[in-house]
Amino acid sequence: MASVNYVTMFALMASCSWAQVGAASFRRVQETCGNKISRESAASLMGCAVKCGMAPDCLGMCYSASSASCVLHKSSDLVNSSLISGMRSYAVYADRKTHEQAFNSCRALDSYLVAPQSKDEMLTLISIMDNSVGIWMAIDAIGRNGTSIVTSGGPADGGGQAVQYYEYALGQPDHLATLEQCMQLWPSGFNDAYCMYELPYICQSSRLYSCVTLPHPAYPADYACFKKLK
């Protein structure tokens, strides 16, 4: 059986605006955050979410950017709100496959091979992958004579689209027009690689979280809690 590790992090924070809640809801949030797994430091909301994703009992988190505070909690009673945020979950597979096999394996699981959309996301992927060999990404230059890279797959899978973010490792790409037309992520950035190489891979999927702020002077103004929605 493939070795897999699940990591959850934020993908779309713009949909989750802060708003105040009533006193009763605040008390429930306060009580929930008291039922915590741990209090840690995190440089970003994404970093806090990664910590929650890697903690088996974590059902949500509370985070403040101003204090870099990340509180992981295990209670399922955290108040729901109408403020919904899309989260991205990653499943890290240690077994090695060719680029096509990795892409198809992710689709068979109703998920997608990763394709980072920002430097922050790229660095997060680097932090959870096997840095000795790197991973496959859903990006390639097949049939393009090295002139451009696009998302992998057919139109139904969002393939053939211009890549919004890429950052090549030093000296790369070096054989994009000939032998190395599939994109691999190294610790130092993107690398063009032979598509038949067998590498580990990471699948991504989405789930929803509910978020709520804490309107109380005891907490920083940007302190907010997030609960996984089943």
- Residue 226 is predicted with a pLDDT of 80
pLDDT of residue 76: 55
Low-confidence ranges of the chain (pLDDT < 50): 1, 8-21
Cβ–Cβ < 8 Å for 98, 113: no
- Could you tell me which residues are beta bridge partners of residue 210? 84, 227
Q: Domain holding 25: CATH number?
A: 3.50.4.10
Would you say residue 92 lies in a domain? no
Q: Report the phi/psi class of residue 79: left, alpha or beta, with left for phi > 0 and alpha for psi in -120 to 50.
A: beta
Q: Provide the domain count of the chain.
A: 2
Distances, alpha carbon 35 to alpha carbons 42, 178, 207, 226, in Å: 19, 56, 23, 14
Identify the pLDDT of residue 29. Answer: 53
Which amino acid, one-letter code, is at 201? Y
Strand, helix or coil for residue 101: helix
Q: Using alpha carbons, select from 32, 188, 177, 168 the residue that is nearest to residue 123.
A: 188
Whole-model pTM over 0.85:
no
pLDDT of residue 43: 77
Structural domain for 175, as ranges: 99-197
132 belongs to a structural domain: yes
Nearest residue to 94 (alpha-carbon basis) of 223, 21, 180, 1 = 1
Do 135 and 48 fall into the same domain?
Answer: no
Share of the chain above pLDDT 70, in %: 71
- Asked if residue 155 and residue 122 are part of one domain, the reply reads yes
> What CATH code is carried by the domain that includes residue 105?
3.10.100.10
Please tell me whether residues 219 and 191 are part of one structural domain: no
